Amino acid sequence: MVSVDPRTLAEVSGPAPQLAPISRAPMTPGEVRELWAFVHGDIMVGGIRSILRRSLGLCPRHAWGYAAVEIELWEHGAGARGGHQPFDLTILYKDLAAELAEKLTAHHAPWHTDLRDVITPTQGCRICSDLHGTDQAHPPVGYAGMNIPALTDVSNRLQWTAGWIRETEPLWRTQVCPVCAQPRSYHSDEHPLLCRHHMVGAPLHAAQAAQVGRRLAELSEQMSGLVQSMTGDGPHAGPEQNAAWVIALSWFATWETVLDISASPNR
């Protein structure tokens, strides 16, 4: 396990996310339409993969929206669960985590003392930019005449997403970013990492960066196992593999959604 980030909480103050998490403001029909189209193929387009590398995935709201739309709407899939699983999402964030891990653990010259640029997006969220200026309450009809209001309703229930979060809580609750956790406290003998969002608020020195990189490499490896388990004849995923996407996505896109869902007795 990585050691504690020596910076105090007062030193880290990344900018607040611009949009409320999906656990506080339900997704609009326009968002669900975009995210469902994203799950269905946009993500595989080469140009989009390079945009996603520059933007380090999606903004916090849409990263969790992407997870929720895929998990809630994908009813039939391969593997032991047979559906309601974050397949495309895990592939994307496994790749992003591996790429950052490589950059953060590379041998850096001693004078290169601040590696925050590695974990700072150089491009905005793809979904935000696609939605900009559109009427999100009344999006155009989706392909194959899909019933966007019905899909939006199902997605916003977060039923299966909440199931994953509850099931994996014993593994993630010791690893919550201490800034995201406030004012809640998550007692842990381990030393949890700040999420990416809160890590960019202060210089990231090479030794700390290497620790973060090693943890991301570990998560990426576990997510590879999870992806395998969602294929036709892949082995079953273990608890750590099932939790890896929750922890990795929270690192990229803050813990707010996970903490809200965990604290909500109605989900």
Give the interface with Zn ion as residue ranges (CB under 5 A). 59, 62, 125, 127-128, 177, 179-180, 195, 198
Residues 6+ apart with CB under 8 A from 91: 227
Residue pointed to by tokens 């103050």: 13
Q: Which is nearer to Zn ion, 2 or 128 (CB)?
A: 128
Do 165 and 246 form a contact (C-beta atoms < 8 A)? Answer: yes
Q: Which is nearer to Zn ion, 57 or 225 (CB)?
A: 57
Do 24 and 65 form a contact (C-beta atoms < 8 A)? Answer: no
Q: How far is the CB of 209 from Zn ion (least distance, A)?
A: 17
Q: How far is the CB of 140 from Zn ion (least distance, A)?
A: 19
Number of DSSP helices (H) and strands (E) in the chain, helices first: 12, 0
Q: How far is the CB of 60 from Zn ion (least distance, A)?
A: 8
Q: Which is nearer to Zn ion, 22 or 151 (CB)?
A: 22
Neighbours of 223 (CB within 10 A): 27
Q: What is the DSSP-derived secondary structure letter of residue 132?
A: T
Q: Which is nearer to Zn ion, 33 or 198 (CB)?
A: 198
Q: How far is the CB of 11 from Zn ion (least distance, A)?
A: 13
